[in-house]
Structure 1
Amino acid sequence: MHRSIRDIPGFLAGHATLAEAGTGCTAIVCPKGATGAVDVRGGAPATRETDLLRPEETVNVLHCVMLSGGSAYGLAAASGAAEELERRGVGLDVGVGIVPIVSSACLFDLACGSATVRPGMEEGAQSVANAFEEKDKPLARGNVGAGCGCTVGKLEGPERSMKSGLGEDVESAGELLVGALSAVNAVGNICDPETGKPLSGLLSEDGTHIVNEEDALIAASTSLVMPLARTNTTISCIVTNARLTKAEATKVAQMAADGYAHAIRPTHTTNDGDTIFVMASGSLEAPVDLVGTLAVRAIERAIADAAREARPAFGLKAASSFDSEI
């Protein structure tokens, strides 16, 4: 049975999807505030409010992580999220008002649907509203929210790429819960983390099967010219009921990045803006290494889930196009 991050007490999640334009955004909310952290491994990130998550900074609470399409334009969705949270009384009390702490990362989906339609303040506010209002419903996955315009396997350009999306997974050890939500827009292939079998990625020239992209990259050698450089990113959020300091949450984010390497090949390239946030609600004590280990597993399985849940769109095949093989 699939478990959702909506099942982890203290956390909410919601989407706003612009389906025809192939873009959207996804809000992960902790109304009471969480300990936050971030790890940025990719070479081309588009982010907001990541500096305050560093362990040495004095802001110790994070209310929302916004994952958005729209490239750098999509950062506006975080402002809409902040305004909606303020309306709902969620934020840091600064004496003269409430300031919600919203961190964000965006992915490039402008080449998938419409290049002129991007998630903005309205969509950011809507995703937060949906997080509150749909908390008792299953969270949609695949071509929704930040995953709406995601594609993978782009070494040879968009013509041989495949549709990806947004996925999630929850792992547990006793009462400890660690969940991951990932919008997968990688230049590389998505592989089953347990078998290594490709789920989605670079199509063969005849479109009948998925090519090993690492082998293709090595074969291209110095002649490789990446089409649409710096237009790929996998952005994720880890949520847990563990009690962590900012330094410990940062270590969990760093460990979780190994999940990218298990499920995306190649990963962390100069053309990816890979980013992982952590939100820890602090409900119970747990060893940091255990939280990090579960986070790795949750991330890699969420990435695979994003590939499996994606559906063909915008003329692109998806993993579901090869159901008999996955």
Structure 2
Amino acid sequence: MTPENTTLTAVPGFQVGHWTDPVGQTGCTVILCPPEGAVASASFLGPSPGTREGVLLAPEKKVERIHALLLTGGSAFGLAAATGVMRVLEERGIGHITPFARVPLVPAAVIYDLGSGDPQARPGDAQGEAAARAASPAPVPRGRVGAGTGATAGKYLGGVGAVPGGLGSVSVSRQGVQVGALAVVNPIGDVLDEQGGVLAGPGVGPGAVAFTPGDVENTTLIAVVTEHTLTKAACRRLADAAQAALGGVIRPSHTDWDGDAAFVLSAGTRPPADPLLLVTLVQEAVQGAVRDAVRQANPGLDRPGALSGA
């Protein structure tokens, strides 16, 4: 019996593919939109987000639809993987129509994972292409895969107590309204469980031990998708809501050492939904995806007697 899909790809029209380097501890993840694209916007918080085509997603910019989203390790080097994604889309005849060519629009965001494995191991053109070709509507593989391969959480004491952050994904629905979320979890703060206890990280809180993070770089990346029709401005408001949800699952969140990015994509194939219900589902999905990432990357973390940061 085929298991139920409870990940982002349960939302029809969206596909996810990974490229993973388990030795270099990095990777990239591609979310392919329906061929006609998805209306999209984003919210970027923190002093140092690493992005490509981020300005394009502002509600006042002309182009509304994107054709894929790339989430990647490798810091700014990893943005090169978007070229490979564009190649696959162009080959398939997908892109924004211009007078002389279809131009695939592929925004991207990165995490800083250069300290997790080999700092010279970075996703590039070929790796982005591989992730795009691997994309499918099957349940999303989660844990230490794709962009979450080298992600870590709970780093405010340096390496003491930090744990793999991983990549997680969930879908949630209520009253016929469905959203899917995918999270790449690489924050400086602790990740909290459903009761507010520490799921991953040192758990003592900043200030318990004298430590200055210095140039440590951290980022949590969020992608949320829905079939329901949204304007670009509405996508932006939901992206802001997704950022707010991080504050309930990561502590501290949105610090001087985090560059969090949240993307919301609408396929527009179903009528608009109750906006209050959508906000609720987006925030539930974001928090669920963050917790799923940590649990998938650390089997047995919720086991009685297991220690956060062990």
TM bin (shorter chain): over 0.9
Is 1:139 equivalent to 2:140 in the alignment?
yes
The offset of 1:170, in angstroms, is 0.7
Q: Quick one: structure 1 residues 323 and 17, their matched pair in 2 at CA, closer, same or farther if it must change by over 3 Å?
A: same
Runs of at least 4 residues off by over 4 Å: none
Q: CA deviation at 1:23?
A: 0.4
| Structure 2 counterpart of 1:290 | 277
Partner of 2:70: 66
1:118 is matched with which residue? 122
Q: Is the 8 A contact 2:154 2:161 kept in 1?
A: yes
The residue that corresponds to 1:47 in the other structure is: 51
Query: Can you list the C-alpha shifts for 1:144-172, whole angstroms capped at 9, x where unaligned?
Result: 00000010111111243111100011111
Give a deviation string over 1:204-232, Cα, whole Å, max 9, x none: xxxxxxx232xxx1445xx5411443x10
**Alignment map for 1:244-259 (pairs within 5 Å):** 244-259=230-245
- Give me the TM-score of the superposition, normalised by structure 2: 0.93
> Is 1:323 matched with 2:303?
yes
Aligned residues: 301
Alpha-carbon contact 2:78-2:124 (below 8 Å) kept: yes
Partner of 1:18: 21
Aligned partners of 1:172 and 1:294 also within 8 Å: yes
* Structure with greater helix share of residues: 1
Find the residue that maps to 2:99 and give its secondary structure. coil
Aligned to 2:200: 200
Partners in 2 of 1:263 and 1:321 — Cα distance? 16
The amino acid that maps onto 1:254 is: D
State the alpha-carbon separation in 2 of the partners of residues 78 and 174 from structure 1: 36
Does the residue aligned with 1:95 lie in a helix, a strand or coil? coil
CA deviation digits over 1:252-279, x for unaligned, max 9?
Answer: 1011112211110100001011000111
Matched with 1:273 is: 259
Q: Which amino acid aligns with 2:239?
A: A
- Counterpart in the other structure of 2:185: 184
Label 1:155 to 1:246 Cα distance change in 2 as closer, same or farther (>3 A): same
> Which consecutive unaligned segments of at least 5 residues does structure 1 have?
203-210, 311-317
Q: Distance in 2 between matches of 1:273 and 1:297?
A: 21
1:242 lines up with 2:219 in the alignment: no
The answer to whether residue 213 in structure 2 is matched with residue 212 in structure 1 is: no
Counterpart code for 2:175: G
Query: Identity rate of aligned residues, in percent?
Result: 38
Task: Please name the residue that 1:77 is paired with.
Answer: 81
Q: CA deviation at 1:320?
A: 2.8
Structure 1 residues 8 and 154: alpha-carbon distance in aligned structure 2, compared to 1, 3 A threshold: same
- Cα displacement (A) at 1:245: 0.5
Structure 2: distance between partners of 1:89 and 1:2 = 29
CA distance in 2, matches of 1:41, 1:60: 21
Distance of 2:244 and 2:60 partners within structure 1 = 24
Alignment CA distance shift 1:2-1:9 (3 Å) = closer
1:260 maps to 246
Q: TM-score of the superposition, structure 1-length normalised?
A: 0.88
SS in 2 for 1:301: helix
Alignment partner of 1:91 is 2:78: no
User: What is the root-mean-square deviation of aligned Cα atoms in Å?
Assistant: 1.5
Gaps of 5+ in 2: none
Structure 2 residue matching 1:112: 3-state secondary structure? coil
